[in-house]
């Protein structure tokens, strides 16, 4: 589910107008409308404001279940990438390197990685 749709449904469940939510969060009504309609993606700090204003835990903005979502396995075999073995060493090395570069260099590196992934995907589709 898209965060904006979830925010709108939670707001409507609580029978709040955008004006009510504006008073509770300090966010502009037009901004709330833009988020609910998918024109803006809020930062985590803004999502925290929404959660406080709606009086729900922040995970409710992403998850519709009644209970907390299950935690992802980290150290089990077949768990997340970088959890163990060579992948763990590689991830640690990436983290050390990223700590020494500035934001513009990180953006460039991410752009290059995305381009390489696109080319790999295109190549795989041709075969």
- Supply the DSSP symbol for 99: T
Q: Residue 55's pLDDT is what?
A: 94
pLDDT at 76 over 60: no
8-43 pLDDT, tens digit each: 999 999 999 999 999 999 999 999 999 999 898 899
Q: Residue 58's pLDDT is what?
A: 87
Would you tell me how many other CB atoms lie within 10 Å of the CB of residue 29?
Answer: 14
Structure-token pair, residue 103: 């934001």
Q: Residue 102's pLDDT is what?
A: 86
* Distances from the Cα of 81 to the Cα of 72, 88, 101, 104, angstroms: 12, 8, 23, 26
pLDDT at 50 over 80: yes
* Distances from the Cα of 60 to the Cα of 2, 36, 63, 69, 99, angstroms: 12, 15, 5, 9, 32
Spatial distance between the Cα atoms of 8 and 4, rounded to a whole number of angstroms: 6
């Amino acid at each position: 589910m898209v965060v904006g749709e979830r925010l709108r449904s939670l707001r409507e469940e609580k029978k709040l107008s955008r004006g009510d939510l504006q008073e509770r969060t300090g966010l502009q009504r037009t901004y709330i409308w833009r988020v609910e309609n998918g024109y803006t993606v809020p930062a985590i700090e803004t999502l925290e404001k929404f959660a406080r204003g709606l009086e729900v835990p922040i995970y409710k903005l992403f998850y519709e279940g009644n209970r907390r979502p299950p935690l992802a396995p980290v150290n089990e075999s077949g768990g997340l990438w970088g959890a163990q073995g060579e992948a763990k060493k590689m991830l640690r090395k990436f983290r050390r390197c990223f700590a020494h570069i500035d934001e513009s260099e990180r953006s460039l590196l991410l752009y290059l990685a995305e381009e390489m992934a696109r080319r790999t995907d295109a190549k795989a589709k041709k075969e």
